[in-house]
Amino acid sequence: FGDRIGLANSAHLRSLNGNDFKPVLAQQSIRELTRTGRIPADVMCAAVWAVFQEGYKNGFGADADHLKTTQDIDLMIENGFTMFTFDPGEHVINEADNFPLNELTEKIKQLPWQSLNDDFNSVLKRYEHVSFNLGEGFEIIPSREEILRALLKYGGAIAHINNLYKHLVNNYSDKPFEVEVSVDETESVTTPFEHFFIASELYRLKVRIISLAPRFIGEFEKGIDYKGDIEIFKKEYLKHVKVSEYFGSYKISLHSGSDKFGVYKAIGSLKRGYTHVKTAGTSYLEALRVVAAVEPELFREILDFSRDLYVTEKESYHVSADIKKVFSSKDYSNE
């Protein structure tokens, strides 16, 4: 769920009546904590208070979202978080999709091979023209070019994930923890083979994950429905599910999952696999709706403040809204 204002978790818990969803109540990224002036303790305390207030006894998750450094891990584990979403996006080389082959080969030499506990020839031996049967007619037989592009694109990210995971294991083995890997905030789509490659390499490095967030085909923007061909998404999603099943059925994670009603329906129709949906944006948008109805002057302040920051803030989010279509608050009535 995620609760950006510290007031929504009680409603989240009440919404669970009559179903068996497993809620993640405490969830916020380091990026958003910094921008909103919150600290991890604020997020955890709001969740715990709601649990006591509602008399909820079925357990809840606490997701330290989009962690990039070992310092991030230390901060969040000190505040009781038990799920850690590693974000290696800064180490993904999106341009690998388009580099000529000779340039790929040269750049691959610069990968952090020591952190990968690997070498180039060993990678080729594991994957080149090897048949991986994922069932139901879905077979992956990667070519050398596919391997080179996946290796350069995600090699540094895999090394970074491995380093973060080792820090967690070496320093906090006495604490319960789960790890999700997120490569969704990248410019290019994660192909089924690239997903397979990431999962396979993490498995080789003994990095145990409970969920993985690929960059899906189409557009997953904040707080709006999916933009793209839902039938194509459905076919690709099924391939990603089969990859996860091959490695033990970890969850496929949908980041920016708020209000993706077309996606929910498509995934539900498959009746297959496990899904982790992140929907913090929905509660925040509903809170804004309440503010607009009850305290319109406060909403005007929020609107103008947000308009002034939008151009800067959108740089680190996957959004395409045109701010020119949103006017100053003085141009709107209270109706």
Catalytic positions, please?
Answer: 65, 180
Please compute Rg for the chain using Cα positions: 21
Q: How far apart are CA 101 and CA 95, in angstroms?
A: 12
Residues 45-53: contacts with CB under 8 Å, at least 24 apart: 46/3, 46/6, 46/7, 46/9, 47/3, 47/9, 49/9, 50/3, 50/9, 50/10, 50/12, 50/13, 50/25, 51/9, 51/13, 51/25, 53/10
Closest CA to 66 of 42, 85, 90, 44: 85
For the chain, the 3-state helix, strand and coil shares in percent, each to the nearest 5, are 50, 10, 35
Torsion-angle region of 259 (φ positive above 0: left; ψ -120 to 50: alpha; else: beta):
left
Distances, alpha carbon 295 to alpha carbons 259, 287, 288, 290, 307, in Å: 25, 11, 10, 8, 19
For the chain, the distance separating the N- and C-terminal CA atoms, rounded to the nearest angstrom, is: 30
Q: Which amino acid is at 308?
A: D
Lookup result for tokens 């592009």 = 149
Identify the H or E element spanning 179. Answer: strand 178-182
